[in-house]
Amino acid sequence: MELILLLGSPLLGAVLLALSGHGKRGPEINALFSLLTFLAACALTARVISFGPLLLGREQFLVDSFNVFLVTLTALVGLTTSLFSRPYMRIEADRGKLSVGRLRLYHSMYQLFTATMLLALTTNNLGLLWVAMEAATLSTVLLVTLYRTPASLEAGWKYFILCGVGIAQALFGTMLLYFAAERVLGAAGVTALLWTHLDAVKGQLEPTVLSLAFVFLLVGYGTKVGLAPLHNWLPDAHAEGPTPISAVLSGLLLNVAIYAIVRCKVLVEGSLRSALPSQMLMGFGLLSMVLAAFFLWRQKDVKRLFAYSSIEHMGIITFAFGMGGPVANFAALLHMTVHSLTKSAIFFAVGHACQKSGSQLIENIRGLVTVSPTIGWGLMLGSLAILGMPPFGVFASEFLILTTAMKQQPWATPLLLLALGVAFAAIFSKVQPMVFGETSVKRLPHSPALLPVFVHLAIVLVLGLYVPAYLAGWYHDAARLIGGP
C-alpha cells in the first residue's frame, strides 16, 4: 500500500492538476499531493527499517537500503519545493510571465516529474528504469520552456536534444545488458533485466559485453548527471526555467541519474572483477569538478553560477563512488543528501532575490541583507554551506572524501583541492557583494515564504554535527551494497 500511494499520489495529482491546476487552489492542491507522497515515503521507509529490503509487484519493484533514503529525500525536497512554488509562481503569474494554461501545465508536470523520479528509484527493472528516466526528461523539457521566451525555448531544445542523445546511449547499454543476461538466465523476457536477478549471476555474465554496456550506460546516464563534457544542457536549463524547477533539477534529478549509474556499476564491476568502472567514474568526476570550478569565474547570471556548482558537486560524488569502499561510499551518500538539501535551499533564496531585484544578473543584485534580511542571510548561509564551510554537512562529506583520496588515490588529491579552492573563491567573490554590497533600494517587508530555505539549512547543519543512528545505518548498509575495489 505504501508503494502504491507513493507512486499513485503524484500520478493522480498530475491528472487532477491538468484539469484544475490553473485555479486559485492549484498551488495548494500541488502541495497537498506532495505532502501525501512524502507521508507515503516515510511509511515505506519505516517498513524497510522494520522488515528489511522489499521485493514487490512480482519483483518489478525493489526498495532496499540504497534507494530508500533517496526516496525519502526526493519526497521531502519535492514537498518543500511545492511549498516554495506557491508564492513564487503566483508572483510570476501576476507579473504576466505565465498564462492560465501554462500555470496548469506547470502544476501537472511537476507532479508527473515527481512520479517519474520515484519510479526510477523504486523499480527493480533496468528497462523500466530507462523508461522512467526518459519520461523525466520529457516532463522537464515542458517545464524548462514554460516561459516560452526565445532563451527558454533554446534551452529546452538543447536539453531535449543532448539528453535525448544521452538516453539513447543508455538504451543501447541496457540492450547489451539484456543480451549478456539472456545467455545466462535464458529466454526470461523482462525478468532478465531485473537488477536482483542480474546481481545474483553477475559473476557469470560476459565481461566484454558488460564493459561495453557500462561505457554506454555511463555516457547516457552521465549526460543526465551533468558530467563533463556532457554538461552543456544543465546551465541553460537552470537559468531559463522557473526557479522551483532549477531546485528539483539540481536537488533531485541529478541524484536519480547517478543512482542509475551506481546500480549498473555494481553489476559490471562484479562481472569484470576489475577496477575499470571505478576508474571511469573517477576520471569523469575529476574532469567535471575541475572544469566546472573554472567555469564559475565566467558566470554573470546567478542561476547559471549555481548550476555550474551542481556540476562540480556531481563530480565530487561521482569521484567518491569511483573510489568505492565503505568510507568513500558513505561519504558520497552523505554528500548526495546535503547537496540536495543545500542546493535547493540556495535556489529558493535566489528565486526570491531575482524577483525582488527584477534581474538574474549578479551585478544587478546588491545589498540583499539590507533589502530583505531573510533572503540575504538565506543566500549567504546556503553559499557557505555549499562551499564546505564547517559545521555544515557538506564539510563533513567533503572531508571524508578528501581524506579517503589521500589514502587510496593520492594522485587525485591536488586536483580535488584545486577544484574546491577555485570554486570557493569564485562563488564567494560573487555572492558577497550580492548580500552585503551597497544598494539604494528600500527595505522590503519580511517574507515568510523563505521558511523552506532555513528548514533545509537546519537539517544540513545537524548532519554536519551529528548523523542520527538510523540514518548512519542506512548509509552503512548502502555503502556495503555498493561495494567497490
- Whole-number Å distance between alpha carbons of 297 and 423: 8
Other residues' Cβ atoms within 10 Å of the Cβ of residue 57: 14
DSSP H or E run through 385: helix 373-386
Q: Calculate the alpha carbon distances from 263 to 198, 233, 397, 401, 447 in Å.
A: 11, 24, 21, 20, 42
CB 351 within 8 A of CB 243: yes
CB 108 within 8 A of CB 17: yes
Residue pLDDT, tens place only, 447-480:
556 788 899 999 999 999 988 888 888 888 888 8
C-alpha grid cell, residue 425: 573563491
For 169, residues 6+ apart whose C-beta sits below 8 A from its C-beta are: 216, 217, 219, 220, 223
- Whole-number Å distance between alpha carbons of 324 and 319: 9
Other residues' Cβ atoms within 10 Å of the Cβ of residue 443: 11
- Whole-number Å distance between alpha carbons of 121 and 71: 7
Residue pLDDT, tens place only, 121-159:
999 999 999 999 999 988 999 899 888 889 889 988 998
Other residues' Cβ atoms within 10 Å of the Cβ of residue 137: 22
Burial (CB count <10 Å: 0-12, 13-18, 19+), residue 326? middle
pLDDT at 207: 83
| Grid cell 558488460 in the structure block, residue | 210
The model's pTM is 0.93
pLDDT (tens place) for every residue of the chain, 485 residues total = 788 899 999 999 999 988 876 667 888 899 999 999 999 999 998 888 888 888 887 788 999 888 888 999 999 999 999 999 888 888 888 887 888 888 889 999 999 999 999 999 999 999 999 999 999 988 999 899 888 889 889 988 998 898 888 999 999 999 998 888 877 766 555 677 888 888 888 888 888 888 899 999 999 999 999 888 888 888 888 888 898 998 998 888 999 999 999 999 988 887 777 788 889 999 999 999 999 999 999 889 999 999 999 999 999 999 999 998 899 999 999 999 999 999 999 999 998 888 888 888 888 888 888 888 888 899 999 999 999 998 999 999 999 999 999 999 899 999 999 999 999 999 999 999 998 887 766 665 555 567 888 999 999 999 999 888 888 888 888 888 887 65
Q: Which phi-psi region, left, alpha or beta, contains residue 241 (left: φ > 0; alpha: ψ -120 to 50)?
A: beta
